[in-house]
């Protein structure tokens, strides 16, 4: 597996997550009580035996660096290979939907040039999953493919909105890529690209050379231009891939963790999702604690009621609280008798005694970092 390196695009800043992605790139958005979104993309690569990973980071890179360090927690602090932080270009448009900008790779072309490996696995990081690329790489090698695009199949139009649809012929050959628009109804299952692909390293270098003069072009556009001359294949994944494209998605993907089969696939499989390890004591449940159907990180002190909620490390829930359907990030303090429902609290939020905060399931209430209410 050492003939493969990884490349993760973590640099898009995004307005889709309201305040959650304001001071941090999407890669660094906290998820599931103790992870950040990046952990899923990075762990999947590491667990597939990839030992050299480049991470394209944005200008707001401190949260990412703080989380990764030298990659020690991901076994990526290595003399040969390891984790490379690749600063992306500064982009003007926050709302830009492009994911794999050639300009960003171009700035860091040495990372690709210095290596000896055959293939590059490229992934974006707004999705939650725990997959192993070994089989897909084997497929890629057997087909002697130039590019292998990873796809899933579904007939759920929600899953497909904004996705790229693949038209796949016999032998898994991809002959057309097409954007899926939201108002484009479908009645049958269609294969859609899940923002992960395998590409020959030298081909990627050629594409960058050829397209580097064009402002802001996406790798996928370059690929579409050359679809007839390249050997492009599709590989079908059946794994859970939870995409986060809106605050509603963010809330729902967190709530997905209460489904046993999804929790099992993400957290209890043979391959573990790595994350930064921070030393915290165990979580303390007081005599008035009443917790059900919830995920809690360590270091919390729980004295109230918690239901269908996700608590990050160091959260304090005082007696008399009622927390329901909420996501509470690290070190929030919820005062006595406070009531929270359908709420997302970013780090270090304090809710004073007796206050009531309620959002709706379709529109959860979001409180920004360090808010005191």
Partner 1 sequence: MLKKECIAMLLAGGQGSRLGCLTRNIAKPAVSFGGKYRIIDFSLSNCTNSNIDTVGVLTQYKPFLLNSYIGMGSAWDLDNTFGGVHILPPYVGETQGSWYKGTANAIYQNMDFIHHYNPDYVLIISGDHIYKMDYSAMLKFHKEKESEVTISTVEVAWEEAPRLGIMTVDENSRILKFTEKPSEPESKLASMGVYIFDWSVLKDALLEDEGDLESDNDFGKNVIPRLLRQGTKLFAFKFQGYWRDVGTIESYYDANMELLNGANSLDIFDPEFRIFSNEGILSPQFVGSKARIENSLVSNGCTILGEVSNSILAPGVYVGEGAKVKDSIILHHTKIHENCFVQRAIVGENAEIMSQSCIGVQAKGHLEQAGITVVQDHQVIPQGSVIKEGRNVYRTR
Which parts of this chain interact with partner 1 (CB under 8 A)? 1-2, 32-34, 51, 73, 75, 77-81, 116, 263, 266-268, 270, 272-275, 277, 279, 281-299, 301, 306, 310-311
Task: Tell me the closest approach of the beta carbon of residue 285 to partner 1, in angstroms.
Answer: 4
From the list 86-94, 171-179, 246-254, 293-301, the region that binds its own copies by CB under 8 A is: 86-94
Helix (H) or strand (E) holding 302: strand 301-302
If contact means CB under 5 to 8 A according to the sort of partner, which of partner 1, its own copies, none does residue 186 touch? none
If contact means CB under 5 to 8 A according to the sort of partner, which of partner 1, its own copies, none does residue 62 touch? its own copies
Residues 6+ apart with CB under 8 A from 275: 34, 35, 36, 39, 43, 67, 73
Identify the residue among 15, 49, 72, 162 touching its own copies (CB under 8 A).
Answer: 72
Q: How far is CA 273 from the centre of its chain?
A: 12
Using CB under 8 A as the binding rule, whether residue 170 contacts its own copies is answered as: no
From the list 64-72, 132-140, 206-214, 261-269, the region that binds its own copies by CB under 8 A is: 64-72
Count of Cβ atoms closer than 10 Å to residue 209 Cβ: 12
> Which bin fits 81, alpha (ψ -120 to 50), beta or left (φ > 0)?
left
If contact means CB under 5 to 8 A according to the sort of partner, which of its own copies, partner 1, none does residue 288 touch? partner 1
Using CB under 8 A as the binding rule, whether residue 61 contacts its own copies is answered as: yes
Q: How far is CA 352 from the centre of its chain?
A: 32
Task: Tell me the closest approach of the beta carbon of residue 259 to partner 1, in angstroms.
Answer: 11
Using CB under 8 A as the binding rule, whether residue 206 contacts its own copies is answered as: no
DSSP string computed for 150-210 = EEEEE--HHHHTTPEEEEE-GGGBEEEEEEPPTT---SS-EEEEEEEEEEEHHHHHHHHHH
Residue with tokens 């209890």: 268
Nearest-angstrom CA–CA distance, 352 and 326? 17
CA dihedral 172, 128, 123, 363 (to 10 degrees): 100
Pick 99 or 347: Cβ nearer partner 1: 347
Using CB under 8 A as the binding rule, whether residue 84 contacts its own copies is answered as: yes
If contact means CB under 5 to 8 A according to the sort of partner, which of partner 1, its own copies, none does residue 213 touch? none
From the list 9-17, 53-61, 116-124, 357-365, the region that binds its own copies by CB under 8 A is: 53-61
Task: Tell me the closest approach of the beta carbon of residue 2 to partner 1, in angstroms.
Answer: 6
From the list 12-20, 61-69, 186-194, 211-219, the region that binds its own copies by CB under 8 A is: 61-69
Task: Tell me the closest approach of the beta carbon of residue 287 to partner 1, in angstroms.
Answer: 5
If contact means CB under 5 to 8 A according to the sort of partner, which of its own copies, partner 1, none does residue 299 touch? partner 1
Identify which of 321, 359, 329 has the alpha carbon closest to the alpha carbon of residue 341.
Answer: 359
Using CB under 8 A as the binding rule, whether residue 77 contacts its own copies is answered as: yes
Tell me 88's DSSP state: P
Nearest-angstrom CA–CA distance, 29 and 36? 5
Nearest-angstrom CA–CA distance, 91 and 56? 13
Using CB under 8 A as the binding rule, whether residue 212 contacts its own copies is answered as: no
Pick 48 or 108: Cβ nearer its own copies: 108
Task: Tell me the closest approach of the beta carbon of residue 175 to partner 1, in angstroms.
Answer: 37
If contact means CB under 5 to 8 A according to the sort of partner, which of its own copies, partner 1, none does residue 366 touch? none
Residue with tokens 């990873």: 150
> Which bin fits 176, alpha (ψ -120 to 50), beta or left (φ > 0)?
beta
Using CB under 8 A as the binding rule, whether residue 151 contacts its own copies is answered as: no
Dihedrals φ, ψ of 98, to 5°?
A: -65, 140
Using CB under 8 A as the binding rule, whether residue 90 contacts its own copies is answered as: yes
Nearest-angstrom CA–CA distance, 319 and 336? 5
Identify the residue among 18, 19, 60, 267 touching its own copies (CB under 8 A).
Answer: 60
Would you tell me which residues interact with its own copies (CB under 8 A)?
59-62, 65-66, 69-72, 77, 79, 84-87, 90, 108, 278-279
């Amino acid at each position: 597996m050492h003939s493969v390196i990884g490349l993760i695009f973590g640099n898009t800043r995004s307005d889709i997550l309201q305040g959650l992605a304001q001071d941090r790139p999407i890669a660094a958005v906290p998820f599931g009580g103790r992870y950040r979104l990046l952990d899923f993309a990075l762990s999947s690569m590491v667990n597939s035996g990839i030992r050299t990973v480049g991470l394209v980071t944005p200008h707001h890179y401190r949260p990412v660096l703080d989380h990764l360090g030298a990659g020690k927690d991901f076994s990526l602090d290595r003399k040969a290979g390891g984790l490379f932080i690749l600063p992306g270009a500064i982009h003007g448009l926050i709302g830009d939907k492009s994911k794999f900008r050639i300009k960003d790779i171009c700035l860091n072309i040495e990372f690709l040039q210095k290596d000896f490996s055959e293939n590059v696995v490229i992934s974006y990081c707004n999705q939650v999953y725990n997959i192993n690329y070994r089989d897909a790489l084997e497929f890629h090698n057997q087909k002697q493919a130039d590019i292998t695009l990873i796809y899933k199949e579904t007939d759920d139009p929600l899953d497909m909105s904004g996705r790229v649809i693949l038209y796949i012929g016999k032998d898994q050959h991809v002959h057309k890529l097409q954007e899926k628009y939201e108002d484009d109804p479908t009645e049958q299952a269609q294969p859609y690209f899940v923002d992960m692909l395998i590409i020959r390293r030298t081909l990627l270098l050629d594409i960058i050379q050829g397209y580097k003069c064009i402002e802001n072009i996406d790798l996928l556009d370059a690929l579409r231009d050359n679809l007839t001359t390249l050997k492009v294949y599709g590989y079908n994944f059946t794994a859970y891939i939870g995409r986060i494209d809106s605050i509603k998605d963010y809330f729902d993907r967190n709530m997905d963790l209460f489904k046993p089969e999804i929790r099992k696939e993400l957290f209890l499989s043979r391959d573990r999702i790595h994350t930064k390890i921070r030393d915290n004591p165990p979580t303390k449940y007081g005599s008035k604690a009443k917790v059900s159907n919830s995920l809690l990180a360590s270091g919390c002190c729980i004295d109230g009621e918690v239901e269908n909620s996700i608590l990050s490390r160091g959260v304090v829930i005082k007696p008399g609280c009622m927390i329901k359907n909420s996501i509470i990030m690290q070190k929030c303090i919820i005062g006595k008798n406070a009531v929270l429902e359908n709420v997302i609290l970013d780090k270090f939020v304090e809710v004073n005694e007796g206050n009531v905060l309620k959002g709706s399931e379709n529109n959860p209430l979001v409180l920004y970092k360090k808010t005191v209410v």
